[in-house]
């Protein structure tokens, strides 16, 4: 298959899904892993996409539609695992914890062991993962957003209003300067209330989110206790370290 045709098909996959993995491209185009990686590098250099670990994502800084939970799971997996390892170190016995939605949160849940703590979450995958481990976990119900498998809305807020947490772990779709952003007002209001009701607040952020924007700003970096972030080759954490305490994870 000619290179130009491969590039066209890769961009078509990206347009339809918002993200694409090297494995998917290899399977669909029946070409080698090395060829796909070379194609992605060339497309990134041309400005057509942004490379991430294991694949690529759309270069749009402000997405028209939020990626699905399944689509996000293939992005920056190794980085998210290192961030999750650091988050685990911050949890103590006896903690009452809020965990927001997101694939990094799901990885944290996978790494959590049975201890003397309670977890409250509005994220269905996080709840399901912890429930299988017999950890004390409570699902904050409400209106589910199928795309992200997260509950939000009036019922969620009504329950959260009466809860207090020792620690909150949350993620974001984008962080620019001091602003923490997500895709919808409902999601932002849920996160904001949970964070306001938490003694300590930890933002788990893979570095690719720095400099990206989304629809609704729901919190400020200088109001969180720390940002757990990976050190990527562009040192993106340096763009936000004047706003927040940085807990840097390296390879």
Q: Which CATH number does 3-59 carry?
A: 1.10.10.10
Q: For residue range 112-133, what is the model confidence (pLDDT) as tens digits?
A: 987 789 999 999 999 999 999 9
Rounded average pLDDT over 142-167: 94
Rounded average pLDDT over 236-241: 93
More confident residue, 108 or 208: 108
Q: What percent of the chain has pLDDT over 90?
A: 64
Q: What percent of the chain has pLDDT over 70?
A: 92
Q: For residue range 20-52, what is the model confidence (pLDDT) as tens digits?
A: 888 889 988 999 999 999 999 998 888 888 887
Structure confidence at residue 143 (pLDDT): 93
Confidence of residue 212 (pLDDT cuts 50, 70, 90): confident
Interhelix angle for 33-45 vs 22-29, to 10°? 110
Taking the C-alpha atoms of residue 7 and residue 17, their distance in angstroms, rounded to an integer, is 15
**Phi and psi dihedrals of 179, rounded to 5?**
-95, 130
Q: Where are the domains of the chain?
A: 3-59, 72-249
Structure confidence at residue 155 (pLDDT): 96
Taking the C-alpha atoms of residue 92 and residue 115, their distance in angstroms, rounded to an integer, is 9
Q: For residue range 61-99, what is the model confidence (pLDDT) as tens digits?
A: 445 555 555 555 556 788 999 999 999 999 999 999 999
Q: What 3-state class would DSSP assign to 167?
A: strand
For the stretch 128-159, what's the b/e string if a residue is b when 16 or more beta carbons lie within 10 angstroms of its beta carbon? ebbeeeebebebbebeebeebbbbbbeebbeb
Structure confidence at residue 45 (pLDDT): 85
Structure confidence at residue 75 (pLDDT): 65
Answer whether residue 101 shows pLDDT above 80.
yes
- The pTM (predicted TM-score) of the whole model is 0.75
Q: For residue range 158-210, what is the model confidence (pLDDT) as tens digits?
A: 999 999 999 999 999 999 999 999 989 999 999 999 999 999 999 999 998 89
Q: What 3-state class would DSSP assign to 31?
A: coil
Q: Domain 72-249: which CATH class? A: alpha beta
Residue 210: closest CA among 183, 189, 232 = 232
Residue 208: closest CA among 28, 107, 75, 89 = 75
Residues 224 and 242: beta-carbon distance below 8 Å: no
């Amino acid at each position: 298959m000619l290179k130009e045709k491969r590039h066209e098909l890769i961009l078509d996959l990206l347009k339809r899904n918002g993200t694409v993995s090297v494995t998917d491209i290899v399977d669909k185009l029946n070409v080698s892993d090395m060829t796909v990686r070379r194609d992605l590098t060339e497309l990134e250099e041309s400005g057509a996409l942004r490379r991430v670990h294991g694949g690529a994502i759309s270069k749009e800084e402000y997405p028209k539609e939020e990626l699905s939970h399944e689509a996000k799971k293939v992005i920056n997996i190794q980085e998210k695992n290192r961030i999750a390892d650091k988050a685990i170190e911050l949890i103590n016995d006896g903690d009452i914890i809020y965990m927001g939605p997101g694939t990094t949160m799901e990885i944290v849940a996978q790494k959590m062991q049975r201890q003397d703590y309670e977890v409250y979450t509005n994220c269905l995958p996080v709840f399901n993962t912890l429930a299988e481990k017999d950890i004390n976990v409570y699902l904050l119900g409400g209106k589910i957003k199928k795309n992200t498998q997260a509950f939000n809305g009036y019922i969620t807020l009504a329950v959260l209003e009466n809860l207090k947490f020792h620690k909150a772990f949350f993620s974001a779709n984008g962080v620019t300067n001091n602003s923490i952003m997500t895709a919808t007002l409902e999601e932002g209001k849920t996160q904001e209330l949970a964070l306001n009701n938490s003694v300590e607040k930890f933002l788990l952020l893979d570095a690719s989110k720095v400099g990206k924007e989304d629809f609704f700003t729901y919190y400020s970096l200088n109001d969180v206790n720390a940002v757990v972030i990976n050190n990527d080759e562009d040192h993106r954490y340096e763009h936000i370290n004047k706003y927040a305490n940085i807990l840097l994870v390296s390879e």
